[in-house]
A and B are shown apart, each in its own frame.
Chain A
Amino acid sequence: MITEFGHFALWMALAAALVQSVVPLWGVRNASAAGMRVADTAAQIQFLAVAVAFGALVRAYVVSDFSLETVALNSHSSKPMLYKVTGVWANHEGSMLLWVLMLALFGVLISLFGRMIPVAMRATVLAVQAVVGVGFYLFILLTSNPFIRLDNPPLDGRGMNPLLQDPGVAFHPPLLYLGYVGFSTAFAFALAALITGRVDPAWARWMRPWVLIAWSGLTAGIGLGSWWAYYELGWGGFWFWDPVENASFMPWLIGTALLHSAIVVEKRNALLQWTILLAILTFSLSLIGTFLVRSGILSSVHAFATDPARGVFILVLLCLYIGVALMLFAWRAGELREGGVFALWSRESGLLVNNVLLSAATGVVFVGTLYPLVLELLTGDKITVGAPYFNQTFLPLFGATMLAAGVGPFLSWKRARPAVVLRRAAVTMTVSVALTIGLALTLTQADPAGLFGAFVAIFLATATLQDLALRAGVPGVRASVALRRLLGLPRSAWGLYLGHTGLALAAAGVVAVSVWKAEEIRSVAPGTEMAVGPYAFTLAEIGQAQGPNYQTTIATIEVTRAGQAVATLQPERRWYPVEGRPTTEAGIRSLWHGDLYAVLGDPDGTGRHVVRYYYNPGVPWMWAGAVLIACSALISLTDRRLRIGAPSRRRAPTMQPAE
């Protein structure tokens, strides 16, 4: 009964979305305030309805109602409660329901916290969001309905992919969708700007908080997914340039460009058309990502759907939304007038260079991901575009982006003095070259590419700290004054410094583990000691244990360094009888400089086991960097001028409707 109510609520959400997409636009056109206000009410009703539907599905999973097809196919009564709940979005139907829940969530948040946005703009934004929503509600109800009942319900479910029964990946989809779907706000603001013909610094300020939330969520989601791959898939890799990963990485890259170009709109009223285009492209890439993952066009552990009807449906939606948005852009963008002027040497130009590099990097990932599909469709030739391609094409572009990110903050707005900028950059260069040479001398194996990567990370970190010091007045002022100045910096400045430091830290980690990791694979009997880099790993014993819905073999591995005990690792090899599949759980101890990592492989029948031991330097920096980057957006979000709901009374926003 509750399930049927949920099903009904989903149709209600569709109805609310239809109202929300039509009435407010009518209101805007006829200058009817009542019509425009419908947007807020409809957004709230839509959210309530879809939340009820989602709640009903969660309940079905929690009580293991196997009369529901999706529950029967994807759950099992013996699963721990956590995975019963997270199992809701670990399959196609449930994850699409989560998608629309997020979309409705952003709508209701804009209706509640976007009060300072003029009603016409807010109504248009919400209407655009609802149009997106209508398409996806139809997609769910017509092709991927989670509320379909089975005539003959089974006694128990088929279970869930054991790889996904893990806390790391359990919260990966909601965060990822926070980002993916959150970018729909940027899309909606961009289209609203084109429809109402209004783009100005105030517009950028209204849009920015939503983009920040989405970007932060996407960063955290990608980081979490990468972390999960690192400890769960069992060979110490963290990024595979898998098309599914690229699907989430492209919106992140272009969203990063959007975040930066929106600053130029906000501060200088320039790059208006470009920012709008970026906003459209960001959400378009989110939609393309959804298509790639949800249509089953790529099949990997993430791509569950194999029904082509779904793929075609999303493809049509995708072409419709992206096509209409780009047509609207082509039609209206020429009417937007650029405001602020800036010189070639200026912060604006620096941000523009960042945009060009990030867009090129996105383009490379896009081509690398889609080219094999297109080529196979057109010619039937099958080629593989794997990690070596991306490493050779993407990494140089991203390295250049990082160098630009280091120098960018040295440039002042509007017109920078090249001499000053170059002098500061020369200091950064000297310090980072010296540090890199020092690093090369201390390391036993000096890989040129690795050293260059290390140099890039050191350069960005040095430049960021240097700029921070300059803003605090160091050297030249007393420590107390410097501290006061630092504390007085706007939160958005802290966002910049934390974000860039996080990026440098993460990059340093990636370089370190890619170039200097130590690895040993062997078949050993208990008691055998193996040297891995400076550490000695000893397989102490192997035991059996029983988990809630799996059996497990646990190895105990003692790690020592120069005779001193460092850590005890307990990698596991689990067997999930319901699903009939094994998983590996790596044994990891994180030290400040790197991870000790052990994986237990198959037994060979003579009492020996294959073990893989790693020393992964820099990996903890990677995760710390990702956390810093995600937090930097949230800190920037608390900046006074962006605080959601805080009306800016002191100064009326400069409103210049475009002609």
Chain B
Amino acid sequence: MREIPDPRSLFRSVWHVLCGTFLPCLLAVVLTGTTPPAQALDAEEMFEDPAQEARARDIGRQLRCLVCQNESIFDSNAGLARDLRVVVRERMAEGDSDAEVIAFVSDRYGDYVLLKPPVEGHTLVLWLAPVLFLGIGGIGLLTYHRSRERRVVPELSAADRAEAQHLLNGEQ
């Protein structure tokens, strides 16, 4: 991972974007190109365009800093997190969509890097958990009511009804 994008890659990315005629990204690349990072500081990694920067941060919040405890690369001060932030911005500058950037990183670092686990076979339990718990709870609630209603209002037999009617009519 590089801390300072080297000029050749920058040129390539500009070329790529030009070929793609993707104007908003072109603008961003030109802007980042005109302010070459002087120091390895997180403030200097940033896009000038607030919309691009917001996108970069949103992506950064979904990726885990691999050497930290449960911190996103956006939140972390670790060097590796900074490097990953730079990679994210490079991919964005190349015109990748959010999903493509995230896929680029997870292809290299595995699912472990994703703070939001993908929906796959071995994470199915995870994603079904809310529905499952709610379902069990809901069924339990209804069953409870059913059983209570049944116990509390026992059906009267025909003989009971006849006797009740008998008593209600005031007959002995």
Contact = CB atoms under 8 A, between A and B. Distances in A.
Interface of A: 235, 237, 240-243, 298-301, 338, 341-342, 344, 349, 352-353, 355-357, 359-360, 363-364, 367-368, 371, 375, 379, 381-389, 392-394, 396-397, 521-523, 601-602, 604, 610
A382 B110 contact: yes
Contacts of B61: 387-388
B72 A383 contact: no
Contacts of B69: 242, 298-301
Contact of A389 (B110, B115, B148): B115
Contacts of A341: 148, 152
A241 B71 CA distance: 10
Contacts of B125: 367, 371
Central interface residue in A299, A375, A389, A394, by most chain B CB within 10 Å: A389
Nearest to A397: B130
A521 B46 CA distance: 9
A386 B72 contact: yes
Given A299-B69, A383-B117, A387-B61, A371 B126 contact: yes
Contacts of B115: 384-389
Contacts of A368: 126, 129
Interface of B: 39, 41-44, 46, 61-62, 64, 69-72, 75, 110-117, 122-123, 125-127, 129-130, 132-134, 137-138, 140-141, 144-145, 148, 152
A533 to B, nearest CB: 13
Contacts of A394: 130
B43 A375 contact: no
B108 to A, nearest CB: 14
Contact of B111 (A298, A300, A364, A382): A382
Nearest to B110: A382
Contact of A359 (B110, B129, B133): B133
A367 B61 CA distance: 22
A387 B113 CA distance: 13
17 contacts: A242-B70, A300-B69, A349-B145, A356-B134, A359-B133, A363-B133, A381-B111, A383-B114, A384-B111, A384-B114, A384-B117, A386-B115, A387-B61, A393-B130, A523-B39, A601-B42, A604-B39
B144 A523 contact: no
Contacts of B43: 521-523, 610
Contacts of A523: 39, 41, 43-44
Given A385-B126, A389-B126, 8 more contacts: A240-B71, A349-B145, A367-B126, A382-B110, A385-B115, A392-B116, A522-B43, A523-B44
Closest 9 CB pairs of A and B: A386-B115, A356-B137, A388-B116, A360-B133, A363-B133, A300-B69, A367-B129, A382-B112, A523-B43
Contacts of A356: 134, 137-138, 140-141
A522 B41 CA distance: 9
A300 B116 CA distance: 20
A170 to B, nearest CB: 22
B81 to A, nearest CB: 12
Contacts of A353: 141
B129 A387 contact: no
A389 B140 contact: no
A431 B61 CA distance: 35
Nearest to B126: A371
A341 B138 CA distance: 19
Nearest to A387: B115
A393 B112 contact: no
A253 B129 CA distance: 16
A393 B129 contact: yes
Contacts of A364: 129-130, 133
Contacts of B70: 240-243, 300, 384, 386
Contacts of A357: 134, 137
A360 B71 contact: no
B76 to A, nearest CB: 9
Given A344-B145, A393-B129, A523-B44, A360 B116 contact: no
Nearest to B68: A300
A329 B132 CA distance: 23
Nearest to A524: B43
Given A364-B129, A382-B112, A352 B144 contact: yes
Contacts of B137: 355-357, 359-360
A386 B133 contact: no
B75 A235 contact: yes
A341 B114 CA distance: 49
Nearest to B44: A523
A358 to B, nearest CB: 9
A457 B62 CA distance: 26
A235 B140 CA distance: 43
Contacts of A392: 116
A356 B138 CA distance: 7
Contacts of B71: 240
Contacts of A298: 69
Nearest to A233: B75
A379 B145 CA distance: 41
Contacts of A235: 75
A359 B64 CA distance: 29
Contact of B122 (A237, A240, A381, A602): A381
A338 B112 contact: no
Contacts of B42: 521, 601, 610
Given A387-B72, A522-B43, A379 B122 contact: yes
A601 B42 CA distance: 10
Contacts of B111: 381-384
A548 B39 CA distance: 33
Nearest to A389: B116
A448 to B, nearest CB: 15
Contacts of B140: 356
A643 to B, nearest CB: 33
A615 to B, nearest CB: 15
